[in-house]
Chain A
Amino acid sequence: MDGVELLIGTAVLALGTFAFRFAGPVLRSRVKLSPRAERLMALAAVVLLAALVAVSALTEGHGFAGFARPAGVLVAGVLAWRKAPFVLVVVAAAATAALLRLAGVP
Chain B
Amino acid sequence: MRSIWRTLDRGLARDIGLVCVADCLVGVSYGAIAVSSGFPLWLPMLMSLLVFAGASQFMFIGIVAAGGNPFAAVLAGLLANARHLPFGFAVGDVVGQRWTRLFGSHLMSDETVAFAMAQDEAHRRRAAYWACGVGIFVCWNAGVLAGAFAGSAIKDTDVFGLDAAFPAVLLALVLPSLRDQAARLPVLVGVLVALAATPFLPAGLPVLLALAGVVVGIAAKEPELQEAR
Q: Which residue of B lies closest to A71 (CB)?
A: B164
CA distance A8 to B47 in the complex (A): 11
B136 beta carbon closer than 8 Å to chain A: no
A104 beta carbon closer than 8 Å to chain B: no
A-B pairs under 8 A by CB, number: 274
B123 beta carbon closer than 8 Å to chain A: no
Asked whether A90 lies within 8 Å of B39 as measured between CB atoms, the reply is: no
Instruction: Using known A-B contacts A53-B171, A101-B161, determine if residue A46 contacts B117 with beta carbons closer than 8 Å.
Output: yes
Instruction: Using known A-B contacts A46-B187, A76-B172, A86-B18, determine if residue A14 contacts B50 with beta carbons closer than 8 Å.
Output: yes
B203 beta carbon closer than 8 Å to chain A: yes
- B43 to A: closest C-beta gap in Å: 6
B174 beta carbon closer than 8 Å to chain A: yes
CA distance A64 to B118 in the complex (A): 29
Using Cβ atoms and an 8 Å threshold, which residues of chain B touch A68?
A: 161, 164
Using Cβ atoms and an 8 Å threshold, which residues of chain A touch B117?
A: 42, 45-46, 49
B31 beta carbon closer than 8 Å to chain A: no
Asked whether B161 lies within 8 Å of A27 as measured between CB atoms, the reply is: no
Using Cβ atoms and an 8 Å threshold, which residues of chain B touch A8?
A: 70
B207 beta carbon closer than 8 Å to chain A: yes
Query: Count of A residues near B, CB < 8 Å?
Result: 71
Task: Provide the main secondary structure of the chain B interface.
Answer: helix
Using Cβ atoms and an 8 Å threshold, which residues of chain B touch A92?
A: 168
Interface string of B79-123 (1 = CB under 8 A from A): 001111111111111010100011011101010011001000000
Task: Provide the main secondary structure of the chain A interface.
Answer: helix
Q: Which residue of A lies closest to B201 (CB)?
A: A62
Using Cβ atoms and an 8 Å threshold, which residues of chain B touch A25?
A: 88, 91-92, 95, 101, 104-105
Interface string of B6-20 (1 = CB under 8 A from A): 000001001100110
Interface string of A1-14 (1 = CB under 8 A from B): 10101111111111
Tell me the residues in window 149-164 of chain B with beta carbons closer than 8 Å to chain A beta carbons: 158-164
Contact of B171 among A16, A27, A76, A99 (CB under 8 A): A76
CA distance A85 to B86 in the complex (A): 29
Contact of A98 among B74, B160, B171 (CB under 8 A): B160
Q: Which residue of A lies closest to B160 (CB)?
A: A98
- B32 to A: closest C-beta gap in Å: 18
Tell me the residues in window 36-55 of chain B with beta carbons closer than 8 Å to chain A beta carbons: 38-40, 43, 46-47, 50-53
CA distance A12 to B182 in the complex (A): 39
Instruction: State the 8 A-B residue pairs at the shortest beta-carbon distance, nearest first.
Output: A24-B88, A72-B164, A51-B210, A97-B161, A93-B168, A45-B90, A76-B168, A98-B161
- Chain B residues close to A by CB (< 8 Å): 11, 14-15, 18-19, 22, 38-40, 43, 46-47, 50-53, 56, 60, 64, 70-71, 73-74, 77-78, 81-93, 95, 97, 101-102, 104-106, 108, 110, 113-114, 117, 158-175, 177-178, 182-183, 186-187, 190-191, 193-195, 198-200, 203, 206-208, 210-211, 213-214, 217-218
